[in-house]
């Protein structure tokens, strides 16, 4: 358990943002999801010690966010969503600075700065001032500064923000690698659920200042091995006709995909047999699996429903 929240209540100005939030975040990498205004950035600011809770407690690696603020800051790394650099400093200098601020000796900071820049993929560019970098490279430097002191807990807020497809891909691979090889705990906030599925093992969904779902992604996504999503190359109508004539349930979606439900006793090979008999190719054949998006949307809907019920 690297983050524990117990009835955490936090106000931002006059507004109540986190409402008796209770959760235990555990595991290697967790995706923190929630609609805008749910309290994600408030939660992050509270964990970093920038906001003081009105009541309740929060602990990071066992340290209390109010009493042991500085101890938490020694072991935490933070990559904010917005741009973040110091004008006039090169990437190396910036990272040395951040490393020294985190308590590394100047020599250790120099070593780590170069090491981490290599890891995030910044090479000769590192000696030039960060304000001249492209957005993608600035994001990498942001990630690097979060890693330079080898933190035990890493908080990444929208790491693929404003990156182009190649940049997004590389960033997601980096984040996944960190989760897997470093032994640090990673908390990633993102609105792009595909990204969270790629990088994280577990998710925590918050809405209106409360936790509405926590779980391991693999367990949450129910696989239905009796229903298959299929895409055909060839005569679709004949295929549909053949399936329907056997009395099996099947449906079409507007993008040309077909969903077939296998009745009891039938194997996947039966679908192949039908396709072979008609002479169509099964270009895409996939058992039905809940997407994280479906889970997320249904969980939110449920929690909104509960709130509406509570009010009435």
Partner 1 sequence: MSIAMPLIQLDNVSRWYGEVIGVNRVTVTLRPGITGLVGPNGAGKTTLMNMITGMIRPSQGTVLVGGVPPWGSLTTMHRIGYCSQVDSFFERMSGREFIESLLMLRGWMRSHARSAATHALEQLRMTPNMNRRIQSYSKGMRQRTKVALAIAHNPEIVVLDEPLDGLDAVGRHEMVELIRLFGREGRNVIISSHVLHEIEAMTNNILLVSGGYLLAEGDVREVRTSLRKHPNRVYLRCADPRAAAVFFMNRPNILSTKVEELDHAVLIETRDLDLFYSDLNTLVLDRGADVSLVTVADENISSIFGYLAGGGDTRP
Partner 2 sequence: MPVHEIKYRAVEGELSPGPFRILSVTKFTLLAVMNKWVATTLMAGSGQLLVYGTIFLIMGNPLVRQALQVTQVIDLPIPVILRNFILIQLFICIIMANIAGPRMISPELAHRALPVIYSRPIGRLGYVAGKFLALQVLVGAVSWVQVFLLFLVMWSVLPPEHLFHTTLWTQSIPLMARAMLIAVLASLVVSLFGLACSAATKNFRYAVVIFIAVMFGASFVSRVAQEVISSNMPDIGLFQVFMTLTDQLVHRVRGVVDRPVTGALLSLGVWCAASLGYLLWRLRPVDVYGE
Rounded CA-CA distance 226/287 in Å is 7
Rounded CA-CA distance 239/269 in Å is 15
Strands 258-261, 249-252: pairing kind: antiparallel
- CA distances to 111, 156, 197, 309 from 105, rounded to whole Å, are 10, 25, 37, 57
164 binds, among partner 2, partner 1, none (CB under 5 to 8 A by kind): partner 1
Fill in the per-residue mask, 234 to 273: x = in contact with partner 1 (CB under 8 A), - = not in contact. Answer: ---------------------x-----------xxx--xx
50 binds, among partner 2, partner 1, none (CB under 5 to 8 A by kind): partner 2
- Per CB under 8 A, the segment of 57-65, 74-82, 187-195, 293-301 that binds partner 2 is 74-82
Residues 186-215 that bind partner 2 (CB under 8 A): none
- CA distances to 207, 212, 297, 307 from 303, rounded to whole Å, are 8, 7, 10, 6
Nearer to partner 2, 147 or 230 (CB): 147
DSSP assignment of 138-190, as one string? Answer: HHHHHHHHHHTT--SEEEEESTTTT--HHHHHHHHHHHHHHHHHS--EEEEE-
Fill in the per-residue mask, 275 to 304: x = in contact with partner 1 (CB under 8 A), - = not in contact. Answer: xx----xxxxxxx-----x--xx--x----
Rounded CA-CA distance 84/266 in Å is 57
- Per CB under 8 A, the segment of 55-63, 73-81, 263-271, 287-295 that binds partner 2 is 73-81
131 binds partner 2 (CB under 8 A): yes
In the complex, which residues of this chain contact partner 2 (CB under 8 A)?
Answer: 45, 48-51, 70-71, 73-74, 76-78, 80, 82-89, 93, 96-98, 100-105, 108, 112, 115-116, 118-119, 131, 142, 145-147, 149-150, 152, 177-178, 181-184
């Amino acid at each position: 358990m690297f983050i524990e929240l117990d009835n955490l209540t936090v106000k931002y100005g006059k507004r109540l943002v986190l409402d008796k939030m209770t959760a235990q975040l555990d595991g290697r990498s967790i995706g923190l999801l929630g609609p805008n205004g749910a309290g994600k950035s408030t939660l992050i600011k509270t964990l970093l010690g920038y906001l003081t809770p009105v009541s309740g407690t929060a602990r990071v690696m066992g340290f209390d966010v109010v009493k042991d603020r500085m101890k938490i800051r020694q072991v935490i790394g933070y990559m904010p969503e917005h741009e973040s650099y110091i004008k006039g400093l090169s990437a190396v200098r910036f990272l040395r600075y951040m490393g020294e601020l985190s308590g590394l000796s100047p020599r250790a900071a120099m070593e780590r700065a170069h090491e981490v820049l290599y890891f995030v993929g910044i090479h000769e560019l590192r000696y030039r001032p960060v304000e001249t970098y492209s957005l993608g490279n600035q994001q990498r430097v942001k990630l690097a500064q979060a890693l330079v002191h080898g933190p035990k807990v890493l908080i990444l807020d929208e790491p693929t923000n404003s990156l182009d497809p190649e940049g997004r891909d590389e960033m997601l691979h980096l984040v996944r690698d960190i989760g897997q090889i470093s032994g640090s705990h990673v908390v990633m906030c993102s609105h792009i659920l595909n990204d969270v599925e790629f990088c994280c093992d577990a998710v925590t969904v918050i809405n209106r200042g409360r936790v509405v779902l926590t779980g391991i992604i693999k367990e949450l996504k129910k696989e239905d091995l009796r229903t298959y999503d299929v895409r055909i190359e060839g005569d679709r109508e004949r295929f549909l006709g053949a399936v329907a004539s056997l009395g099996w349930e099947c449906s079409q979606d507007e993008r040309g995909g077909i969903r077939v439900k296998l009745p009891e006793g039938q194997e996947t090979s039966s679908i192949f047999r039908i396709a072979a008999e008609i002479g169509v190719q099964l270009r895409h054949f996939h058992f039905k699996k809940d997407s994280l998006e479906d889970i997320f949307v249904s969980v939110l809907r449920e929690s909104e429903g509960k709130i509406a019920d509570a009010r009435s």
